[in-house]
Chains A and B, each alone.
Chain A
């Protein structure tokens, strides 16, 4: 499915060129809502400023709960036994593609248990995966880590709206009564859809990386050679890549995932999970994160 890979590449090129930092996005959204509120409702500009100021500090306890979930989650994950377990987990994948797949699965499955778990574990796992498998397309790996928060959490056990309306005494009880969880998150519709999303996107994320041209003679030769080699990493893979800081930190305007020899690139379908299945030139590219 090189088609999706091509689109992903074009979109990445666009976003890296034009999208501002996340903080600037928050500011821009503020202005947009401000303008929309004045244009579409009866509120005046001054009123909107007041609303903004009122809202600014209104959700403080939730903000602290969220901050704590990251801090306390990190404390657990950084404790020696859990740290060892996570490191062992990061060694499971046998190639860049299975790395991305496992990250996506972990993130989404944990998101279904609790969103706080998904956030913390994903944040800790991306660097471990990248250290274990430096040839991975780092940006795709990080995207995979975001899928729990992006695609599954509100269908799982920490789904805030369904949990809220199942709680006796919730603020809309008079309007809608109590809706038991059996009719929401444990309904067949929700369960089936959630597991379809989990399965589909665990697999689909793989097709986002560009696969190098199979017909290219150099790739074929190297993939053949590697298939018959031991798992010794090629010179370019090892010292710097394994010990150095997590790879592509500052990708240039052009993503490292582009051909020739993609970062994650499986030369042929059969060898995709094998370490060392892509050319050494692409390996160093993945490590530096620039071309």
Chain B
């Protein structure tokens, strides 16, 4: 299920459910208000992605994490590393492109199974999402709040979540 399939389904479903074109257009315009913050901020995060990829910053940080890890703790370190980078590049797919070559190579040296690395990466990609404002923008727009209003609760969720999932990767 790619994004294109999802979008196409939504649009066709929207056409069918609204019945009238004018109503569909009106609600699409409403919906665009939700997407406004994302449109403005996306290029900035894409710029950060550009710097990180171009300069090789991920490898420098990745090496520090990989050197601290043993074969047993490697998934846990991948989890933290992926979480750290996620705060700067909060997109799961494009971040994979800049992180994966290094974490897979380092995982090979320690002989860690590939699926484990993928899962540790995936969970790490969520580790800092809850304290990262980007994906909350539509929600905050609809709620008419700013990120600072929910960050207090979000930080508490983040701490407990990081502990719980770290424990899982440490035990696994």
State the A residues within 8 Å of B (CB): 4, 7-16, 18-23, 25-27, 29-30, 32-34, 36-37, 40-43, 47-48, 50-59, 62-63, 65-76, 78-82, 114, 116, 119-120, 122-124, 126-127, 138-140, 142-143, 145-147, 149-155, 157-162, 164-165, 171-172, 175-177, 179, 183-185, 187, 189-190, 193, 196-197, 200-201, 204-205, 208, 246, 249, 251, 255
Also in contact, A41 and B47, with CB within 8 A (given A63-B42, A78-B30, A149-B136): no
Pairwise interchain contact A69-B6, C-beta atoms closer than 8 A: yes
Pairwise interchain contact B161-A201, C-beta atoms closer than 8 A: yes
A-B contact count (CB 8 A): 347
Q: Report whether over half of chain B's contact residues are helix, strand or loop; otherwise say mixed.
A: helix
Chain B's closest residue to A31 (CB) is B48
- A190: chain B residues at CB < 8 Å are 119
- B94: chain A residues at CB < 8 Å are 59, 62
- B54: chain A residues at CB < 8 Å are 43, 47-48, 50-51, 54-55
Within 8 A of A (CB), among B24-53: 24, 27-28, 30-32, 34-35, 37-53
Also in contact, A51 and B118, with CB within 8 A (given A8-B153, A79-B27, A140-B153): no
Q: How far is it, in angstroms, between the C-alpha of A40 and the C-alpha of B61 when the chains are bound?
A: 9
- A255: chain B residues at CB < 8 Å are 152
State the B residues within 8 Å of A (CB): 1, 3-4, 6-7, 10-11, 13-14, 17-18, 24, 27-28, 30-32, 34-35, 37-57, 60-61, 87-88, 91-94, 96-97, 100-101, 104-105, 114-115, 118-119, 121-123, 125-126, 129-130, 133-158, 160-161, 164-165, 168, 172
- B145: chain A residues at CB < 8 Å are 138-139, 142, 249
Also in contact, A208 and B156, with CB within 8 A (given A63-B38, A72-B10, A120-B138): yes
Chain A to chain B contacts (Cβ below 8 Å), 25 pairs: A15-B148, A22-B147, A33-B88, A43-B54, A51-B50, A51-B51, A52-B48, A56-B47, A68-B11, A72-B14, A78-B30, A116-B3, A119-B139, A127-B142, A139-B150, A139-B153, A146-B139, A154-B122, A154-B126, A159-B92, A160-B93, A160-B96, A165-B118, A200-B164, A208-B156
